Amino acid sequence: MKRKDIVTGLIVILIITVLSGYLLAQVYKITKIRIDEQKQSEEQRLYKEIFPEGEEFSEEKEYVAVYDGDDRPLGRIYHIVEAGYGGPIVIKAGFDIDSKIKDVRILEETETPGLGVKIKEKTFLDQFTGKSGNMLYLKKYNSEGTIDAITGATISSKAVSDGIIKAQERIERESGLNNSIEATTEGVEK
């Protein structure tokens, strides 16, 4: 290859990459605002679904703290990743200030179609609402458990239940923080 060919080749590819880089930067600038909005509103919508009365959701290190309009704490939303049957299951679990389950949502899963994916259905997830402690176990695995596994999808069901129980254990470990929430709400409740 001649020296001239190399130089022209370099110049052409340089011009094209610079042009395409400039174009992409412009597109990125325009779309970024929308993309950020989408992401934000999607998360906010999910939080609002779990805590309909929540007004403010502030990101803490391990969870999202939920406050109502008067800045009183309502509870926390935990982000949990648990190994399911076909891959990781991403769960958002809301706990109220008594560490009872407020609501549960499945963000991502790769479970068996028609079987394990039923963990996303309300009939399964609603079983957790209002429960705490050993009640969160599947009936099969704990005598105090109250959760019915999805027929034929025990592993997927167990993953959700296990994830929620782990989040609950995390709350108990951070009992120092937990007490402070209770202290601030005691006056309000009683």
Partner 1 sequence: MKLVEPKNFFAGIWKENPIFVLMLGLCPLLAVSSSLKDAAGMGVAFIAVLTGSNITVSLIRKVVPAHIRIPVFIVVIATFVTIVDYSLAAYLPQLHKNLGVYLPLMVVNCILLGRAEAFASKNNIFNSALDGLGMGLGFTLAIIVIAVLRELPGQGTLFGIRVFSENYKPFLIMIMPPGAFFVIGFLIALKNRTGGRKKC
Partner 2 sequence: MTELRSSPHIHSNETTVRIMWSVVIALLPAMVASVYFFGFSALKVILVCIISCYIGEILSHLLLHGRIKTFDGSAVVTGTLLAFVLPPSIPLWMAGIGGFLAIFLVKELFGGIGFNIFNPALAARAILTVSFPLEMTQFVAPLSHRIDTITMATPLGIIKEGLGEQLPSLWSMFIGNKAGCLGETSILLLLIGAIFLLARKIITWQIPVFYMLTVAIITAITGQDPLFHILSGGLILGAFFMATDYVTSPITSKGKVIFGIGCGVVTSLIRLKGSYPEGVAYSIIFMNMFVPLIDKYTLPKKFGAVKRGEKK
Residues that bind partner 2 (CB under 8 A): 85, 112, 114-115, 140, 151-152, 154-155
Dihedrals phi, psi of 75, to nearest 5 degrees: 160, -160
Q: Give the span between the Cα atoms of 117 and 89, in whole angstroms.
A: 10
The set of residues, in sequence order, having a beta carbon less than 8 Å from that of 107 and lying 6+ positions away, is 46, 90, 91, 92
5 interface partner picked from partner 1, partner 2, none, CB below 5 to 8 A per type: partner 1
Number of residues that bind partner 1 (CB under 8 A): 23
Q: Are residues 89 and 81 in contact, defined by beta-carbon separation less than 8 angstroms?
A: yes
Neighbours of 171 (CB within 10 A): 19
Q: Give the span between the Cα atoms of 181 and 178, in whole angstroms.
A: 5
Based on CB atoms, which residue is closest to partner 1, 42 or 59?
42
Structure tokens at 76: 């926390």
Per CB under 8 A, which of residues 86..145 are in contact with partner 1?
A: 112-115
Based on CB atoms, which residue is closest to partner 1, 28 or 141?
28
- According to the binding rule CB under 8 A, does residue 184 interact with partner 1? no
Min separation Cβ 110 and partner 2, Å: 13
22 interface partner picked from partner 2, partner 1, none, CB below 5 to 8 A per type: none
Residues found near partner 1 in the complex (CB under 8 A): 1, 5, 8-9, 12-13, 16-17, 20, 23-24, 27-28, 30-31, 34-35, 38, 42, 112-115
